[in-house]
Amino acid sequence: MKQSEEEKRRILVEQSSILFFRYGMSKLTMEDFASRQGISKKTLYKYFPNKYALVDEIIRHQMVTIAGKIAAARADESLEFPAKFSSVLGVIVEQVGKLGEQLVRDMYYTSPEHWAKIEKFRSDYVFKAIGELLVDGMKTGYVRDDINPQIVIPLLLNTIQSMMTPEQMIKIPFPVVEVFSTFVRVIFGGILTDSARKDIFRNLGLSESPKEKS
C-alpha cells in the first residue's frame, strides 16, 4: 500500500527523533538528518523548511506520545493506584532516560524557546497528572493520610520542577535517569504507604534503599 504524505512525514519525525536524542541538536544539520535516514535533503525540506521546524515537530510528537501514554494509564479502570502511578512514572523515566548532557545543553543554551515549551508541558500536563494521582492515592489509602495534600503536592511538584532544570542536570555528575530514579525513591518513598511503595518501586525496578540492588 502506498504511503500517504502524512505517514511519510510521521516516519521522518520518528526517525529524526532517534537522531535528535542520540546526538543532540547543535551537532546535527538538515543534511545529517537526511543522510542518516538514507533520504535526500530535498525530501526532508519538502516537509520541514529548516532544522528549527523539524525539532519543533520532534518535540510536539514527543509531547503527544507522552500525554497519550499517561492518559491511557490513568483511564485504565482495571489498575489500582500503585499500577497507575508506576505506569505514569515509568513513562517519565523512559523519556528522561533519553536526555543526554549534550541535548540538555543544546536545548537550554541554543534553543530556549523549545525548552520553554517542554517546561510548560511538564507543568501544565505531567505535573498536574501526578498531583491528581496523588490525591486519588490519598483517597484510596495508598498515600499517607497524615500529610496535607494542599501542602505536599505543590511542594513535590515545585521540587521536581526546580531539580529538572538544565542548570541542575548539568551540574550533577550522574546520568539524568539515575538522578530522577533517586528522586523518585527518596521523595515519593516518603509519602507512600509501605505497601504502595513496595509495589511501585518493584514495578519501576527500584530498590527501597539506594544501597540495595534492584
8-48: per-residue pLDDT in tens? 999 999 999 999 988 888 889 999 999 999 999 999 999 99
In this prediction, residues 185-197 reach a mean pLDDT of 86
138-179: per-residue pLDDT in tens? 889 999 888 877 787 788 778 777 776 777 777 777 777 787
Beta bridge partner(s), residue 143: 192
Spatial separation of the C-alpha atoms in residues 3 and 62, rounded to whole Å: 22
In this prediction, residues 108-113 reach a mean pLDDT of 83
Q: Which residue has the higher pLDDT, 213 or 144?
A: 144
Whether the CB-CB separation of 90 and 82 falls below 8 Å is answered with: no
pLDDT of residue 151: 82
Q: Which residue has the higher pLDDT, 168 or 77?
A: 77
Mean pLDDT check: name the lowest of 5-9, 39-43, 46-50, 92-96.
92-96
Domain-wise residue ranges, the chain: 5-204
Given CATH 3.40.50.2300, say whether it is the number of domain 5-204.
Answer: no
Residue recorded with cell 520518528: 14
To the nearest whole number, what is the mean pLDDT of the chain? 85
Task: Please give the model's pTM, rounded to 2 decimal places.
Answer: 0.82
**Range 128-160 burial, b when 16+ CB lie within 10 A, else e:** ebbbebbebbbeeebbbeeeebeebbeebbeeb
Q: Which residue has the higher pLDDT, 105 or 193?
A: 193
